[in-house]
Structure 1
């Protein structure tokens, strides 16, 4: 069965499990009311909510996205589902999830829900939609309770396993303790085990590949590199920030460009994207702390204590790259559901390079730039980047193959 067929099967409608008795809607109201793009509206509300008051851990914020939009996708499978039902169900599911997971934004979220519901004519369809969205959100919140993706569980105290060559240790300038080691113990949405897609071990320190990759970082990733071009420096700076933030614009472009697809399909796209990303981040943490490979800065300072990377090194092991596993998963989901190219060129910005935008026509080039960017930042070996992309694609492919399980 093709990926498209699997997704279609996952989003097949089911009868409304608990219909609510109500008077019939006003005659003609469902046909005459002016509809907004509720998917894009609540996409932006979700992004704004997390940007304003999200958790400190990226994977926790990915979880918030996944729960909010998977509950909405589940609600939209119910029948009957006229437009009033669909808009009310989507808005109510995302609202209920966000208010529960980001309670500090309740006032803003309540106002957003009120605005969405005010456009919908009163009647049985609206009430059923609100009930279905709220019910699905509550059920999924209960299902994911204590799944180990809260910030405290994600980053428990971590002690390096040894000080031997090749083993990760805290890196300059802050020498911060290792973070994200607990993500590997979290409950995934779909894989049977956290290590199901664990990549092969990194190359030996004396191997031709590792020596070559480390030399590339030394030459192109140094703070004062004369080999790195201004364009390469810009790429490193552009992709420096949170992958969740950087890929918000990429996914939004896909959502907006798919307005001719059904509301259920577009909601499912957002849900599957973030479910895949949660599971990818769990798998990435598993691999990082299984292999605990030291960072380039540690390796290079053994022979040159003055060597400094362009950007400060994050406080977790090198292999595989988390930025790139995220990019690989995003590429896989968008390519499988939309195709290798976007319908129209799309433009995104970067919080770490204000005022600069980049325009793309496919989903692969951002991943390719992520691979280069982490090398030119001086914080990852190329093998860690390339393996990260492959890991993300593998996990996301698993998500898509098993999508129907998310809606059962």
Structure 2
């Protein structure tokens, strides 16, 4: 009898240890983080967040997740508090309480993702599914509750910090004043929408000291009378490219279109189609990089976080330049002076032309992903297949960023010079993020 009880107790311990291993296999899997980011990406798409606001959604959610990881693995990861000069110290885990930091990281991401998107609670269903998945894998109830409690503490601290980034103030700031003067931006067809987020350059950045820290040169002077002027040549280059697109150039323009809200007009009927915005596209690429590198959970979270910071700061810098330059779009000039029936291949977005946002943010994100996963890593990006656009393959993240930049010329919405300078600016921003923010302890 005694022997039977010993064997029974041993079997119970073995079963418990197996269940313990099961739940850690689930929470340690970086694919779970990639799926969680994708869920937020889907919510951003479904609710039509403009690209700049989407970058804010991603950055705070990823930082919340990262801070939990840094707290759980202080030997290998540094908190961003203090590295981002205005970021306060984050709550420390309570001693003696066992926490699954990967699970807590996922929950912090979701908590903040819920708070910075609308309708509020968009991720609640996913969070319930996540919790049930972890329970079913056998996480002990005490660890489960401790992990939830710590994730909530960190997420609340991140949200409190986020409220001081000037976002709320810009919601009631003055609208853009349209001045109908040669060379200045005016609304474009078919929406003729008002200028998008003219005060985004006033949002508090993360790694940048200010929106103007990395300046761009003045755009070429408007001149359509001198055929040798830089401006005239840039206009005609765009028109020539759009009028003679190859199949590959067409695919390139469509692949990097990333129009979160395209208005389709057929006769008197109007309807919108949605896709991931540029920040969402690069979040997907971060996931591809993580999977390709076979990165572990913590490395994956750190890579997403650094890329999201680069995207956020790149948009702030770019929008500052855009509304300082107020440059006219190619469509406006070509319709007025060359061909009233000309249309770009992709829809012109509602904000000034110079510099190219895609060029800036793509180059910035590519630099951080190169730092995280290495250079010259070929990959295939299938992010757009869910929208019916075939995948494209690239030699590296930097190669993809260069293509994203040039795609805006083929799309007919940017001048080549704005894309080239945008790429240079983005590289500088990505370099600054890599140098200033040391996430991993080497």
Structure 1 pair 273–113 and aligned structure 2 pair: CA distance change class (3 A): farther
CA distance in 2, matches of 1:39, 1:273: 16
Offset, 1:371: 2.4
1:68 matches 2:61: yes
For 1:96, the equivalent position in structure 2 comes to: 111
Offset, 1:251: 1.2
2:147 equivalent among 129, 138, 141: 129
Offset, 1:361: 3.3
1:85 matches 2:85: no
- 1:277, 1:330 within 8 Å by CA — same for their partners in 2? yes
2:409 equivalent among 365, 370, 375: 375
- 2:380, 2:391 within 8 Å by CA — same for their partners in 1? no
Offset, 1:194: 1.3
* Mapping 1:330-369, distance limit 5 Å: 330-342=365-377, 345-350=379-384, 354-369=388-403
Offset, 1:60: 2.2
- 2:72, 2:101 within 8 Å by CA — same for their partners in 1? no
1:187 matches 2:178: no
CA distance in 2, matches of 1:213, 1:340: 32
Q: Secondary structure at the match of 1:78?
A: helix
CA distance in 2, matches of 1:155, 1:172: 25
For 1:11, the equivalent position in structure 2 comes to: none
For 1:32, the equivalent position in structure 2 comes to: 21
For 2:34, the equivalent position in structure 1 comes to: 43
Structure 1 pair 47–80 and aligned structure 2 pair: CA distance change class (3 A): closer
Offset, 1:59: 2.3
For 1:269, the equivalent position in structure 2 comes to: 303
* Mapping 1:233-382, distance limit 5 Å: 233-241=250-258, 242-261=277-296, 263-306=297-340, 307-342=342-377, 345-350=379-384, 354-382=388-416
Tell which deviates more after alignment, 114-123 or 245-254.
114-123
- 1:324, 1:386 within 8 Å by CA — same for their partners in 2? yes
Per-residue CA deviations over 1:104-160 (Å, capped at 9, x if unaligned) read 331232222332354353166555433332221111111001524469739962112
CA distance in 2, matches of 1:86, 1:259: 20
Per-residue CA deviations over 1:52-72 (Å, capped at 9, x if unaligned) read 344522222222221122111
Larger Rg: 2
CA distance in 1, matches of 2:238, 2:290: 36
Per-residue CA deviations over 1:282-327 (Å, capped at 9, x if unaligned) read 1110000011111111222332242332222111111001111121
Structure 1 pair 142–369 and aligned structure 2 pair: CA distance change class (3 A): same
- Structure 2, gaps ≥5 residues long: 1-14, 75-96, 259-276
CA distance in 2, matches of 1:77, 1:46: 18
Q: Secondary structure at the match of 2:100?
A: helix
TM-score, normalised via structure 2 length? 0.76
Tell which deviates more after alignment, 65-74 or 135-144.
65-74
Structure 1 pair 231–42 and aligned structure 2 pair: CA distance change class (3 A): same
Tell which deviates more after alignment, 78-87 or 164-173.
78-87
Number of matched pairs: 375
Per-residue CA deviations over 1:8-43 (Å, capped at 9, x if unaligned) read xxxxxxxxxxxxxxxxxx974686335135432132
CA distance in 2, matches of 1:305, 1:256: 47
* Mapping 1:175-214, distance limit 5 Å: 175-206=192-223, 208-214=229-235
CA distance in 1, matches of 2:235, 2:53: 32
Offset, 1:368: 2.0
Offset, 1:339: 1.8
CA distance in 2, matches of 1:180, 1:406: 34
